[in-house]
Amino acid sequence: MSRSAHPAGPRHADVLPEGHYTAPAADLNVLDPKVWSRTVDRDERGVVTVGGIGVDALAEEFGTPAYFLDETDFRARCRAWAEAFGKDADVFYAGKAFLSRAVVRWLKEEGLNLDVCSGGELATALSAGMPAERIAFHGNNKSEEEIRTAVEAGVGRIVLDSFQEIVRVAHTAQSLGKRQRVQIRVTVGVEAHTHEFIATAHEDQKFGIALAGGQAAEAVRRALKLDGLELIGIHSHIGSQIFDMAGFEVSARRVVQLLAEVRDEHGVELPEIDLGGGLGIAYTSEDDPREPHEIAKALGEIVTRECGAAGLTTPRISVEPGRAIVGPTAFTLYRVGTVKPLEGLRTYVSVDGGMSDNIRTALYDAEYSVSLVSRTSDAAPMLSRVVGKHCESGDIVVRDAFLPADVAPGDLIAVPATGAYCRSMASNYNHALRPPVVAVREGEARVIVRRETEEDLLRLDVG
Ligand SMILES: Cc1ncc(COP(=O)(O)O)c(C=O)c1O
């Protein structure tokens, strides 16, 4: 979002409370391929299509609001990540971004592994046939039951997040007569978001075991002593929506330093490191994400250099992108219900969903873009705020964006790049029915997660 002079002139510029806004130079009818999934286009009628199907037909068949997931794009992104990291590294898709059984099958077919962080995600993965050895199990407070299920299933790794958990997993594995492969999640004193990272001495957060004060070294000491555990490596995750590799550089250096300390103290070279996820995507035209091959090259070089300097054999690297795979592959389709111009401020465009299908704007002040998709328009750009239908004034989907001034009730508008952390964080606030996820591929659309019904809500309410 750029802020300078509003197109409507001084009348608006005088009173806009949060800065001034420049109408985009680009034609509002043009869809920026950076923020839309790869098979999105406009047909000869001006209607936006995905996988060759018009949004008018999709709205007719599946209703609104709804998430439309471009399966072709999702699979292509999986392949790009797998190819970029190659045979000597592992890519784990972070299921928290969005998980369903169809997604698990696509991941399996495209050669990716899966990171889950709850019993529910693990059950989804196993029920869709993901081989257990390709699953990593995360979480800062896994229940005894979750640990037992994961060990019994034979997950490829459990990422240990606390001293208590080291003992719990070891005990469970031993009681089942197993030796569980584990990594220890460390906090490296780096926090990274978008173009900035902050290196701190101590970590003030719930995840991981701090490198600072020798806690992580102590965790390694304890894990190495327990028969139920096979310690295979160290894990670090530093933030989200990151474009700059500088934070990863500091994180890798600190993790490698720990590997060197472990070698010196125990005579053991741990064979794996995981650098987590957090890689950024384009939510608006101003975001410039890196391609998977650039990320793979940069991370490979950092780790190889740091290990070389420490005299260590380079460990096997793994990463856990969630947003960077699924985020750009979906858009949310809404129907406009009301249009309310506020003189001198902006126009509120209300849609039939809101914070229950996209909490990120309210929660993180996330930025999104939006387009009129049921037709083209030559009307002037109008500073708009896309809001939902919930009883909450913070119920904003797109804070500030330009829509054509003739946008009207009945129009379809769509918010791109909603594949990650929208359906997975959706709620029933105001007893909203969570929207369906519809996968679209080569002219075919099918529901992969169905729309909730009032019967679904009432079934849980046992009276
Ligand atoms: C341990 C871990 N791995 C991976 C991810 C995925 O992050 P992203 O979707 O930003 O790539 C997260 C996100 O919170 C995480 O905590």
Query: Is 458 a domain residue?
Result: no
SS3 assignment, position 265: helix
CA distance 408 to 339: 6
CA distances 294 to 81, 111, 243, 298, Å, are 10, 20, 11, 6
Same domain, 163 and 79: yes
Tokens of 192: 């990274």
Q: Which helix (H) or strand (E) holds 231?
A: strand 229-235
Residue 185 has pLDDT above 80, yes or no: yes
Domain boundary among 302, 325, 348: 325
Q: How far is the CA of 279 from the centre of ligand 1 (A)?
A: 9
Same domain, 54 and 100: no
The minimum-distance atom of ligand 1 relative to the CA of 276 is 3
Q: pTM of the entire structure?
A: 0.94
Determine which residue's CA is closest to atom 5 belonging to ligand 1: 277
pLDDT at site 14: 41
Q: Which domain holds residue 149?
A: 71-325
The model's confidence at residue 192, banded by pLDDT at 50, 70 and 90, is: confident
Q: How far is the CA of 35 from the centre of ligand 1 (A)?
A: 20
pLDDT at site 204: 81
Q: How far is the CA of 93 from the centre of ligand 1 (A)?
A: 9
SS3 assignment, position 234: strand
Beta-carbon contacts of residue 458 (< 8 Å; ≥ 6 apart): none
Same domain, 171 and 33: no
CA angle at 323 for the pair 319 and 324, rounded to the nearest 5°: 65
Instruction: Give me the active site residues, please.
Output: 391
Tens-digit pLDDT profile for residues 345-398: 999 999 999 999 999 999 989 999 999 999 999 999 999 999 999 999 999 999
> What average pLDDT score do residues 16-30 get?
69
**What residue spans of 25-89 are helical by DSSP H?**
55-62, 71-85
Residue 29: give its domain's CATH number: 2.40.37.10
Instruction: Kindly report the backbone phi and psi dihedral angles of residue 241, in degrees, each rounded to the nearest multiple of 5, phi listed first.
Output: 55, 50
Q: How far is the CA of 318 from the centre of ligand 1 (A)?
A: 13
Q: How many domains does the chain have?
A: 2
Query: Is 5 a domain residue?
Result: no
Could you give the percent of the chain with pLDDT greater than 70? 94
Same domain, 317 and 212: yes
Same domain, 249 and 190: yes
Same domain, 65 and 113: no
Residue 141: give its domain's CATH number: 3.20.20.10
Query: Is 26 a domain residue?
Result: yes
SS3 assignment, position 83: helix
SS3 assignment, position 210: strand
Query: Is 34 a domain residue?
Result: yes
Tens-digit pLDDT profile for residues 70-110: 999 999 999 999 999 999 999 999 999 999 999 999 999 99
Tens-digit pLDDT profile for residues 50-62: 999 999 999 999 9
> What average pLDDT score do residues 242-262 get?
95
CA distance 50 to 58: 9
The minimum-distance atom of ligand 1 relative to the CA of 279 is 11
Give the residues surrounding ligand 1 with Cβ less than 6 Å away: 94, 96-97, 115, 138, 237, 240, 276-279, 320-324, 420
State which amino acid sits at residue 366. Answer: A
The minimum-distance atom of ligand 1 relative to the CA of 421 is 9
Q: Greatest CA span in the chain, whole angstroms?
A: 75
